[in-house]
Copies of this chain bind each other. A is one copy, B any other.
Amino acid sequence: MLYFSCDYAEGCHPKVLEAINKTNMVSTPGYGQDDFCESAKEKIRKYINCPDADIYFLVGGTQTNQVVIDSMLSNYDGVVAAFTGHIAVHEAGAIEYSGHKVIALPAHEGKLDAAELKQMLEDHYADDSAEHMVNPGMVYISYPTEYGTLYSRQELEAISSICKEYEIPLFIDGARLAYGLAAQDDLTMADIAAYADVFYIGGTKVGALFGEAVVFTKGNTPKHMITQIKQHGALLAKGRLLGVQFGAMFTDNLYMEMGRHAIKQASIIRDDLKKKGYQLYMENPTNQIFVVMDNQALKSFGEKVAYGIWEKYDDSHTVIRIATSWATSDEAVSELKKIL
């Protein structure tokens, strides 16, 4: 069976595993108060050119979104997101569970539109009933989006500047950050750090066993952040595991190398699909490929390839997801091409 269903089907990159092995019997303080964490943070700060960034390592994506959003918002705040955003759909209501509304705006291939965002904020503050409504207290975007699309530099700039104007923090969910940056020539992680007030560097989907690095870029860390993380059940006892992994991923450019690998493999598959006349559900340049497949054909395809079901297209077709990752081998890509 070929695995193309998701980008978290294997363990971790061999170099990350090597670091875990090498440090296994070292004794350290718990809860991330160790040197591995400190060193990994320093590497990230340098990489994003943000020497004062305040960094916290968490375990998974939904947890990270919940902790970041809840710790930055006040009771009366909600978070603005595209209605297709991960927090609006596939996190089992983790944001509402923590007391905050996800204020959903239209999505354009998964993206918020800056003009619509601005209009919404304008309307809100002009509304006589504003005090009876949830206050827009944060803007959430994912880069890449849930549909594998990317904001252009101009789009990021526009959204970031609206957030500044309204004094609302911009939070960029980078669960697949490496896959986005590897597919976009004119944007670096330092740019993401500059546009965002807080963002996270996804490890779970990019070569770590688990782990997300939350980066506060503007001296804006919420107070008692450790207490807040603990309160959400999100403080890893052996926090050093996160430091060790991110340390390895930010050594010799491994993180971006893994990103580029997945993009290369995705491009090969995407080209092959197009050549063979498959209909892409949505054009996007990252590691997730959304293809419209005939339900009949899907049966035999599914016997050889593990894929992701995305959504019903019509009565006889389904949108499926083919995802590459840091782990996708050349052999697997060749095999897939033969099957397609």
Q: Are A8 and B238 in contact (CB under 8 A)?
A: yes
Q: Are B227 and A92 in contact (CB under 8 A)?
A: yes
A90 neighbours in B (Cβ, 8 Å): 129, 132-133
A61 neighbours in B (Cβ, 8 Å): 237
In the complex formed, the residue of B with least CB distance to A20 is B11
Measured in the bound complex, the distance between the Cα atoms of B67 and A235 in whole Å is 14
Q: Are A30 and B8 in contact (CB under 8 A)?
A: yes
With contacts A75-B70, A93-B100, A96-B96 taken as known, whether A29 is within 8 angstroms of B5 at the C-beta atoms is: yes
**What are 12 of the A-B contact pairs (CB < 8 Å)?**
A9-B28, A11-B23, A60-B233, A60-B235, A64-B233, A65-B233, A66-B233, A67-B233, A76-B231, A93-B134, A97-B231, A128-B309
Write the A69-111 contact mask toward B (1 if CB under 8 angstroms, else 0).
0110011101000000000011111101101111010000000
Interface size of A by CB at 8 A reads 81
Can you add 6 more A-B contacts, CB < 8 Å, to A20-B20, A96-B99, A133-B227? A11-B26, A61-B237, A76-B93, A93-B99, A104-B104, A123-B312
User: Which of B9, B94, B123 contacts A230 (CB under 8 A)?
Assistant: B94
The 6 closest A-B pairs by CB, nearest first: A63-B233, A3-B27, A11-B24, A92-B230, A93-B134, A92-B231
Write the A186-212 contact mask toward B (1 if CB under 8 angstroms, else 0).
000000000000000000110001100
Measured in the bound complex, the distance between the Cα atoms of B231 and A247 in whole Å is 29
Q: Which of A64, A235, A327 has the most CB of B within 10 A?
A: A235
Asked if A273 is an interface residue, CB under 8 A from chain B, the answer is no
In the complex formed, the residue of B with least CB distance to A327 is B25
Measured in the bound complex, the distance between the Cα atoms of B101 and A89 in whole Å is 10
Measured in the bound complex, the distance between the Cα atoms of B224 and A323 in whole Å is 28
A232 neighbours in B (Cβ, 8 Å): 94, 97, 232-233
With contacts A90-B132, A92-B133 taken as known, whether A21 is within 8 angstroms of B27 at the C-beta atoms is: no
Q: Which of A25, A30, A232, A233 has the most CB of B within 10 A?
A: A233
Q: Which of A89, A135, A238 has the most CB of B within 10 A?
A: A238
A267 neighbours in B (Cβ, 8 Å): none
User: Which of B10, B30, B59, B234 contacts A27 (CB under 8 A)?
Assistant: B10
User: Which of B6, B104, B233 contacts A30 (CB under 8 A)?
Assistant: B6
